């Protein structure tokens, strides 16, 4: 059985290829895929197999060319088959026991969240850390020296009024302690223990008898920074706060000072930062009052310093769009779960 012309062989191959293309393009599921496999790639009587047999009838001189053509078509059909197979495995029309509805929910793995105030504190501490400020810690139940006297708040000062503080009587102590009303207490404690140069941030809970409302809570968080180094000026204060604000808000943020009054700083200022074209209050700041430096045994002629304080709730409320700061203490998981750390901690 010889005498199949090369042209006829080629025509047969091209027909095979065209039909394979057509058939495999129509494959929609495993079943039709299998039919197509048997028809074209079947080991016994698949059409490629038959075509291979036809190769033997081509005249000897044409055999190499015919062989090349056959191999090219075989590769093409196999590739088409593979494509069809892949399609059948993932195709939307192919829902069966083995395939999955990939839109079904995955096995849930729950992750928690840090409290939004913690996230805010960490962010502030992180930025200040890059500026060389180290986080320090101190007691929340304080004596009056650290909460008042050392901070230039004398006995007759209104800030010491019993109605404005949470006083705590401790049996073996002459004068009552109190829940600290500011984190500046920690600055005093650190300055008493260490010598300049000093860059610290004290942060944590503070307590003032405010009636709870959307912007007040009797317990809240403060972050206070302190830098004491020879030759420190308000220009350093402004530059540090500008670096902080720029990093916290993003972009090149300007800060401005408005004169204010705090017992433990002189001059004292309110700090505003420019945000979306408006000045918003950032916190209080000032140069450490010489009386405070003296109270901790520093020489105000040798060193100077600045201090600033930020209200964490206020920053967090603005950052996260929280209208009522009491929400921070309601601990409703539906609230807490909304605050995913952006990796800025």
Partner 1 sequence: MIVSLDWLADYVDVPPVEQMTERLLLAGLNHEATETVGSDTAVDLEVTSNRPDCLGHLGVAREVAVLFERPLRIPPIELPKPRKAAAVSVTIEAGDICPYYSARIIRGVTVGPSPDWLVSRLATVGIASVNNIVDITNYVMLECGQPLHAFDLGQLAGGQIIVRRARPGEPFEAINHKRYELTDQMAVIADCDRPVALAGVMGGAETEISLATTDVLVESAQFAPLPVRAAARGLTLSSPSSYRFERGPDPAAVEWASQRATALILELAGGVLEEPVAEAGKLACQPAEIVLRADRVEAVLGVPVPAQRQQEILQSLGFVQQAATAEESRWLAPTWRRDCWRAIDLVEEVARIEGYERVPENVPIAARPIARSSRERLVRMVAEVCVAAGFCEAMTRSVVAEPLEAFGSPWGDAEPLVCRPPLVRGADRLRRTLLPSLLEARVASLAAAASHADLFEIARAYLRRTNDSQPAASPLEEPLLLTLVTTGDFFRAKGLAAVVLARLGLEELAVSAEGIVSGDLTGVSYRPVQSQLLATGRAAEIMLHRPGETPRRLGVVGEVSPQLCKQVGCDEKTAAFELRLDSLEFVADYEPVLTAPSSFPSIDRDINLVVDEAVSWGAIVSAVESTGCHELDQIRLGQIWRDAERLGVGKKSVVVSLRLRSHQETLSAEQANDLVAEMVEACRRHVGATLRA
Contact (Cβ atoms closer than 8 angstroms) between residue 52 and residue 4: no
For residue 269, what are its two tokens?
């200022």
Residue recorded with tokens 């091209």:
14
285 binds partner 1 (CB under 8 A): no
Q: How many residues bind partner 1 (CB under 8 A)?
A: 80
91 binds partner 1 (CB under 8 A): no
Among 144, 145, 260, 275, binds partner 1 (CB under 8 A): 260
Which of 85, 99, 166, 320 contacts partner 1 by CB under 8 A?
166
Here's the x/- map for partner 1, 52-81, by CB under 8 A: it reads as: ------------------------------
Treating both helix axes as pointing N-terminal to C-terminal, what angle do 116-130 and 234-249 enclose, rounded to 10 degrees?
130
User: Which range in 76-84, 99-107, 162-170, 317-325 contacts partner 1 by CB under 8 A?
Assistant: 162-170
Subset of residues 209 to 248 that bind partner 1, contact rule: CB under 8 A = 209, 212, 218-219, 231, 233-236, 238-240, 242-243
| 233-238, long-range: CB < 8 A, 24+ apart | 233/287, 233/304, 234/267, 234/269, 234/287, 234/306, 236/306, 237/285, 237/286, 237/287, 237/306, 237/308
Residue among 76, 149, 290, 296 that touches partner 1 (CB under 8 A): 290
Q: Residue by residue, what is the 3-state secondary structure of 14-37?
A: HHHHHHHHHHHHHCCCHHHHHHHH
Among 280, 299, 330, 344, binds partner 1 (CB under 8 A): 330
- Residues between 261 and 280 that touch partner 1 (CB under 8 A): 261, 266-270
Tell me: does residue 42 bind partner 1 (CB under 8 A).
no
Under rule CB under 8 A, which residues in 2-41 are in contact with partner 1? Answer: none
Q: Is residue 253 within 8 Å of residue 273, measured between CB atoms?
A: yes
> Closest by alpha carbon to 121, among 223, 226, 217?
223
46 lies in the site for partner 1, by CB under 8 A: no
Cis before 267 (ω within 30): yes
Give bridge partners of residue 199 from the DSSP assignment: 227
Site membership for partner 1, residue 137 (CB under 8 A): yes
Nearer of residues 33 and 322 to partner 1, judged by Cβ: 322
Q: Is 168 in the site for partner 1 (CB under 8 A)?
A: yes
Q: Residue 19 or 266: which CB sits closer to partner 1?
A: 266
- Residue found under tokens 């028809």: 39
Told to check if 194 binds partner 1 by CB under 8 A, we report: no
Q: Quick check: 45 binds partner 1 (CB under 8 A)? A: no
How many Å apart are CA 306 and CA 34, to the nearest integer?
81
Binding of residue 90 to partner 1 (CB under 8 A): no
- 152/188 Cα distance (integer angstroms): 11
Least gap, CB of 236 to partner 1 (angstroms): 6
| Using rule CB under 8 A, residue 181 touches partner 1 | no
Q: What are phi and psi of 115, to 5 degrees?
A: -60, 140
Does 302 sit near partner 1 (CB under 8 A)?
A: no
Using the minimum distance from each CB to partner 1, give the nearer residue, 54 or 196: 196
Can you tell me the distance from the alpha carbon of 65 to that of 7, in angstroms, rounded to the nearest whole number?
11
């Amino acid at each position: 059985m010889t005498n199949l012309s090369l042209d006829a062989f080629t025509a047969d191959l091209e027909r095979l290829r065209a039909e394979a293309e057509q058939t495999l393009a129509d494959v929609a599921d495993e079943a039709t895929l299998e039919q197509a496999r048997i028809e074209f790639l079947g080991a016994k009587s698949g059409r490629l197999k038959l075509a291979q047999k036809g190769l033997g009838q081509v005249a000897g001189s044409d055999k190499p060319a015919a062989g090349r053509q056959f191999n090219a078509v075989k590769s093409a059909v196999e590739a088409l088959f593979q494509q069809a197979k892949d399609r059948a495995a993932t195709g939307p029309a192919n829902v069966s026991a083995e395939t999955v509805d990939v839109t079904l929910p995955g096995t849930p793995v729950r992750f928690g969240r840090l409290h939004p105030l913690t996230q805010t504190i960490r962010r502030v501490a992180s930025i200040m850390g890059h500026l060389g400020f180290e986080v320090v810690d101190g007691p929340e139940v304080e004596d009056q020296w650290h909460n008042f006297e050392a901070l230039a708040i004398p006995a007759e000062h209104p800030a010491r009024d019993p109605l404005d503080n949470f006083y705590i009587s401790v049996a073996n102590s002459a004068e009552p302690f109190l829940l600290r009303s500011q984190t500046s207490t920690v600055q005093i404690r650190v300055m008493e223990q260490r010598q300049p140069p000093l860059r610290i941030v004290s942060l944590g809970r503070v307590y003032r008898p405010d009636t709870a409302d959307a912007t007040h809570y009797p317990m809240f968080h403060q972050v206070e920074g302190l830098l004491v180094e020879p030759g420190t000026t308000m220009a350093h204060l402004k530059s540090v706060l500008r670096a902080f604000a720029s990093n916290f808000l993003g972009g090149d943020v300007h800060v401005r000072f408005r004169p204010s009054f705090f017992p433990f700083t002189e001059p004292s200022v309110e700090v505003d930062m420019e945000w979306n074209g408006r000045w918003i209050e950032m916190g209080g700041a000032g140069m450490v009052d010489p009386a405070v430096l003296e109270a901790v045994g520093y020489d105000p002629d040798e060193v100077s310093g600045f201090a600033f304080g930020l209200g964490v709730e206020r920053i967090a409320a603005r950052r996260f769009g929280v209208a009522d700061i009491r929400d921070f203490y309601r601990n409703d998981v539906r609230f807490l779960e909304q605050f995913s750390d952006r990796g800025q901690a």
